[in-house]
Chain A
Amino acid sequence: QLVESGGGLVKPGGSLRLSCAASGFTFTNAWMSWVRQAPGKGLEWVGRIKSKNDGGATDYAAPVKGRFTISRDDSKNTLYLQMNSLKIEDTALYYCSTLNAIPIPDYWGQGTLVTVSS
């Protein structure tokens, strides 16, 4: 199970930190992604963090690179997304997921809504 939190209303240029609490699977071994969905739009991959065993590296989509940072606390089974310099176009429902293309389960949270507006 994945449960996101931390969403809300923020002004352009502001910051927000999202959290994703994981349970029911071995979080330590999981590569975790954030995926967002703007209102009425499709899915957009935001970024991913590898497991620490696999080096813990992060990758980001071009629109958020340099503004967003993904981190993880394996002791708390929690994934984070630090969002800085927020823009109106960052308004979306943000999902955390074990997003993968291999034969292991693919989990998604219910999402947390981020609204960037003045």
Chain B
Amino acid sequence: DVVMTQSPLSLPVTLGQPASISCRSSQSLVYSDGNIYLNWFHQRPGQSPRRLIYKVSNRDSGVPDRFSGSGSGTDFTLRISRVEAEDVGVYYCMQGTHWPPYAFGQGTKLEIK
């Protein structure tokens, strides 16, 4: 099974500053159709997860453009250009290329300094 490894696990950030989260997979996430099925989710405290990004770099509807995703093969990154207070919570990457099972990363907790 594919293992997803995120870093850092804790990310204190000053408001207005950028933030970056890394996600690595134990094998390439390139599917036979050439696509990479890598999602990013955000879970605010006490809320359900919400998908932010699908297929590495595509933002879901309503997701602010300060969020961006990039990467290829086994290395992926979620970037927030300027952190706002509403961005606190836990961020998860998830691979949907080699299923079953879908695999989530351990989560990265973003907090405001």
B38 proximity list for chain A (CB < 8 A): 101
| 11 interchain pairs, CB-CB under 8 A | A45-B103, A61-B101, A62-B1, A95-B48, A99-B102, A101-B37, A102-B37, A105-B60, A106-B60, A108-B48, A111-B48
Complex CA distance for A105 and B51, rounded to whole angstroms: 9
Residues of B within 8 A of A (CB): 1, 37-39, 41, 43, 48-51, 54-55, 58, 60-61, 90, 92, 94-97, 99-107
Name which residue of chain B comes closest to A2, CB basis. Answer: B48
* Residue from the list A45, A61, A102, A111 in contact with B55, Cβ < 8 A: A102
Complex CA distance for A99 and B100, rounded to whole angstroms: 13
Name which residue of chain B comes closest to A109, CB basis. Answer: B48
Is A48 interfacial (CB-CB < 8 Å)?
yes
In the complex, the number of residue pairs spanning A and B with C-beta atoms less than 8 Å apart equals 68
A103 proximity list for chain B (CB < 8 A): 54-55, 58
A59 proximity list for chain B (CB < 8 A): 99-101
Smallest CB-CB A-B distances: 5 pairs: A101-B96, A101-B37, A59-B100, A106-B51, A108-B48
Is A39 interfacial (CB-CB < 8 Å)?
no
A101 engages B94 (CB within 8 Å): yes
Is A55 interfacial (CB-CB < 8 Å)?
no
B100 engages A48 (CB within 8 Å): yes
Within the complex, the shortest CB–CB distance from A108 to chain B, in Å, comes to 4
Instruction: Give a binary string over A77-118; 1 marks a CB under 8 Å from any B CB, 0 the rest.
Output: 000000000000000000101011111011011110000000
Within the complex, the shortest CB–CB distance from A109 to chain B, in Å, comes to 7
